[in-house]
Amino acid sequence: MNLVKDLFKNTGVLTISQIITSILAFFWTTLTMRYLEVADWGVINFAIATMGIASIFMDFGMSIYIVRDVSRNMEQASKYLGNMILLKILLSLITIFVVFIVLKLRNYSDLTVLISLIFGIQAAITSMNLLFNGIFQAFHKMKYQAFATIINSILLLSFVTITVELDLGIFYIALAYLISIIVTVTYSIKSIKKLVDNIKIEFDFKFWIEVMKKATPFAITSIFTSIFFMTDQVMLGAISGDYALGIYSASYRILLVFLTLYSMYTTAIFPIMSNLYKKSDNILKITFEKSVKYLLALALPICVGISFYADDIVTLICGSEYILAGSVLKILIWNLVFTFINGISDSLLNSTNHEMGVTKRTAIAGAFNFVLNLILISEFSYYGATISTLLSGLLVLLLNIYLISRAVFKINHSLIMDIAKISISTTILAIVLYFIRVSMWVAIPIGIIIYGIAIIITKTLDNDDKYIVKELLGKNN
């Protein structure tokens, strides 16, 4: 059970860092949204979404591939770092130049182009940091990644606060992101030297081609994943304008806070799953099914609570100017369920060398999402983008179930029963919240108690779950 301890130790470190980051993100997001006009907030999010898609070509799936490969052979770490640093610099320069040309040809405003370029440089440095994070994950040393995340968050909040207090404008808001990541990657470089000796920049063209060839499925998957997650914002800004994008982005930003809960878990578990592949199929299956159970048990009550108090949350974080985002958030938050389960499913498929299946599935979902956005945004603006996101998430879930059942293993009946029990507990929570009609701050502790009691009544936690808890506490010896 050492792998279980490793998983929860690394998840715990990432959780602590994410809690700190989420708190700080609450403040810098609130400051930024209350400071900027809705349209300027739309410009910021257009730049982030555009460069988020472009950043895929800066990384080209290498970070994910390296995690899997180095997890199985840590002696390769120095070779990967020495070659990938230079390759990433070249890919980033080419990508930023291409985006600049496209934006100019599309006649975007000078402000939009400038802000996009700043976020392009920020995305390039972030992509480099992903390489270092991949090594941290492969070595199961998530503490360095966690500290880097905290450093970035503290700096970003500090710079945003200074910008708002001095009324420096949208340019310096963008600059705050750039300066923060520069300092963060400097810390990561120093930390990586503690794990890997003799890092030398290399130009091994044959090795570059080999890595890019093997990373291509991950790159294609990342492209379609970016289309899946970000094309709605790019298309919404292009079709409905900056104001509509500002409203949608406000609700999406709140969703992203909760999405980080699953990302830190999948970050910790992916190298473990990669290590388990071909070593213990049974433990790998248990790891996946328990992960689905725990992530779903976390996601469903969050969705219920947000649905009831979306307007209050939007007003608290964004201000009354964004009140229209409340109705969007009530619907959009349910994508959390799909994203949680699809995230752990992707980790399983990628760790078991079924990345081509993930690539094909993501291509189908990306195309489906693009067509839906094209149709629905034109008719329903940000509501259309919301519906498209949910339906696309559902499609990915169904395709993942098919892929896992066909290529990896059949889902146990016990997991289906666990899902049913969690659903019943969540329904009980929803009924209670509907009838008590109390303020959000009162509902939070009441909801936690009610949901906890429902979990106990439905006997959602079985003997295996209790064993895992005891193992983590060191009481099984």
Tell me the one-letter amino acid at 436: I
Residue 392 domain-assigned (yes or no): yes
- Quote the pLDDT of residue 199: 76
Residue 404 domain-assigned (yes or no): yes
Residue 433 domain-assigned (yes or no): no
Residue 285 domain-assigned (yes or no): yes
Cα 239 to Cα 103, 157, 244, 376, distances in angstroms: 15, 32, 9, 11
Residue 34 domain-assigned (yes or no): yes
Q: What is the mean pLDDT of residues 103-118?
A: 90
Cα gap 77→68, rounded to integer Å: 11
Tokens encoding 146:
């966690």
- Quote the pLDDT of residue 270: 67
Residue 451 domain-assigned (yes or no): no
What percent of the chain has a predicted confidence (pLDDT) above 70?
88
Residue 135 domain-assigned (yes or no): yes
- DSSP helix/strand/coil, 201: coil
- Quote the pLDDT of residue 109: 87
Radius of gyration of the chain (CA): 22
Cα gap 65→358, rounded to integer Å: 14
User: Per-residue pLDDT for 265 more than 80?
Assistant: no
- Quote the pLDDT of residue 273: 73
- At 1, the pLDDT band (50, 70, 90 cuts) reads very low
Tokens encoding 132:
């270092």
Our count of domains for the chain comes to 1
Cα 452–Cα 295–Cα 248 angle in degrees, nearest 5:
105
Residue 203 domain-assigned (yes or no): yes
Instruction: Determine which of 247-251, 262-266, 468-472 has the lowest per-residue pLDDT on average.
Output: 468-472
Q: What is the mean pLDDT of residues 212-220?
A: 81
Q: Is there a contact between 100 and 29 (Cβ–Cβ < 8 Å)?
A: no
Between the two ends of the chain, the Cα-to-Cα distance in Å is 12
- At 467, the pLDDT band (50, 70, 90 cuts) reads low
Cα gap 32→229, rounded to integer Å: 22
Of 41, 171, 182, 46, give the one whose Cα is nearest residue 118.
171
What is the reported pTM?
0.66
- At 319, the pLDDT band (50, 70, 90 cuts) reads confident
* Domain containing residue 300: 2-411
Tokens encoding 140:
């199961």
Higher pLDDT, 164 or 477: 164
What percent of the chain has a predicted confidence (pLDDT) above 90?
25
